[in-house]
Chains A and B, each alone.
Chain A
Amino acid sequence: MGKRTIIPFGPQHPVLPEPVHLDLVIEDEKVVEAIPSIGFIHRGLEKLVEKKEYPEMVYVIERICGICSFGHGWGYCAAAEGAMGVEIPDRAEFLRTIWHELSRVHSHLLWLGLLADGFGFESLFNHCWRVRETILDIFEETTGGRVIFSVCKVGGVRKDVDADTLKRIADTLENIKAEIKTLCDVFLEDVSVKNRLVGVGYLSKQDAIDLCTVGPMARASGINQDLRYNGHGKYLEVGFTPCVEEQGDCYARCKVRIDEIFESIGIIQRCIEAIPEGAIDVPVKGKFTGEFITRMEQPRGEAVYYAKAFDPGKETNYLERMRVRTPTNMNIPAMVKTLQGCDLADVPMLVLTIDPCISCTER
């Protein structure tokens, strides 16, 4: 048995994408055990419900994370609307679905860029982000912000998008599909990339079920779990197919996310064809009542949102408790399991493969 050393990895490290700390127990270049440690950017945002009334709380919740920002805003609004029993108009639901799927495309392009940066392929990283700029321009044109949209509110959405702009969005997405396909071919076919991804970080289906993994991490190990089936948004109306792979290694997770980009572009185009005319919001007045728990399929996996008002008779404009459980929170045990037995050089790959978003995890 070789000598064991403990190497601290993070939160500051040139290759690490997120501020997570890992204590790696190394035995001759192989990682034997990994102990995670988070808490470096805990802001306690959930406690701000005591200070901000429920219509203003959405601005706090959507700033939990920059990449999954719209998902959090939608989740909070859905939980608040469910608790108060508010039905929002169809057009608002379609617009929210379109923005969320655009969020998914931009998040996966961002992740592909970071993955390329993780194994040293700088030019591929920059090209992925260049293509992502087209999506950010769409966001700025329709909502006013590139990263934080502030367009979801309790009761609907705040801005409408006219038919010409929607048609232009559909055409733009059709045009960038060819560019995305060329970049994704590099990920999936190039021999130097495949050497870094195939066979690395294997997670079997039984392990994925025991560790309660969510999102593309679970779908790459053969579990058909996609929260878009639970009826939120307009996914079931326009139809979609979840992307599932069987191999369970880094290559499979990369392939799942690439397939999801093209699937999302298809969903957006179908939504644009099916969107009805109508109002985009309903007025919501009065104190906050009720209790509701709901879930969203974010780019990284399943996110749980729970909103609770004060007991009946003591209701106010403030929530009593708001809980956001983000997907990375659930995938950290899976990351720890895949790290056991890997090479030291593969550690950044494996940390990136769960698509970590530590600012979501710690709120």
Chain B
Amino acid sequence: MSEKKYAIQDIQNIAASELLERVRKLKEDGYRLAQACAMNREYGQDLLYSFDKDHILLNLKVKVNEGEEVESITGEYWPAFIYENEMHDLFGIKFLHNALDYNGNFFVTAEPTPWNPKK
């Protein structure tokens, strides 16, 4: 068993509206949430969700326009509240129906959304 499982890069691009459906299916298939992060793009942000099963990662890249609201996945994976609050505090992405919403008080920063400054 010496295949390099870490070299398997499976990144799938999906739209923000399909996110919750895909996540529900992954939860049924037994995937575990590994991480969620955001990065700045010209049109807004790209969210990257990673799921793991049998030590292989499956990644979903979600395109989010500036100011668009995203469905929270805390209904399926409760630990996602940490990542969603962090993305909200640092980038300003709004999540709907977040199970544990800190309303911007998770990371207390000197200026709001420091990694996506409003010009």
Contact = CB atoms under 8 A, between A and B. Distances in A.
Q: Do A and B make up one complex?
A: yes
Interface of A: 37-39, 42, 44, 47, 78, 82, 209-212, 225, 227, 229-232, 236-237, 291-295, 302, 304, 306, 308, 320-321, 323, 325, 329-330, 332-334, 362
Contact of B48 (A38, A230, A294, A306): A306
A246 B102 CA distance: 35
A212 B108 contact: no
A329 B3 contact: no
A279 B19 CA distance: 46
Contacts of A227: 55
Contact of A231 (B5, B79, B81): B5
Candidate in A232, A237, A333 with the most chain B CB atoms within 10 angstroms: A333
Contact of B2 (A212, A231, A304, A323): A231
B39 A320 contact: yes
A79 to B, nearest CB: 10
B34 A302 contact: yes
Contact of A211 (B35, B78, B106, B114): B78
14 contacts: A39-B106, A212-B33, A230-B4, A231-B3, A231-B5, A236-B2, A293-B11, A295-B34, A295-B57, A304-B50, A306-B48, A321-B39, A323-B48, A330-B35
B106 A38 contact: yes
A209 B3 contact: no
Given A39-B106, A293-B57, A323 B5 contact: no
A230 B6 contact: yes
A211 B2 CA distance: 29
Contacts of A293: 9, 11, 48, 50, 57, 59
A39 B39 CA distance: 20
Contacts of B82: 329-330, 332-333
Interface in B1-47: 1-7, 9, 11, 32-35, 37, 39
Contact of B35 (A78, A232, A291, A304): A304
Contacts of A78: 6
Given A44-B115, A302-B34, 10 more contacts: A37-B106, A231-B3, A232-B6, A292-B9, A293-B9, A293-B57, A295-B57, A323-B37, A329-B35, A330-B35
Contacts of A329: 35, 82
Contacts of A39: 106-109
A352 B35 CA distance: 23
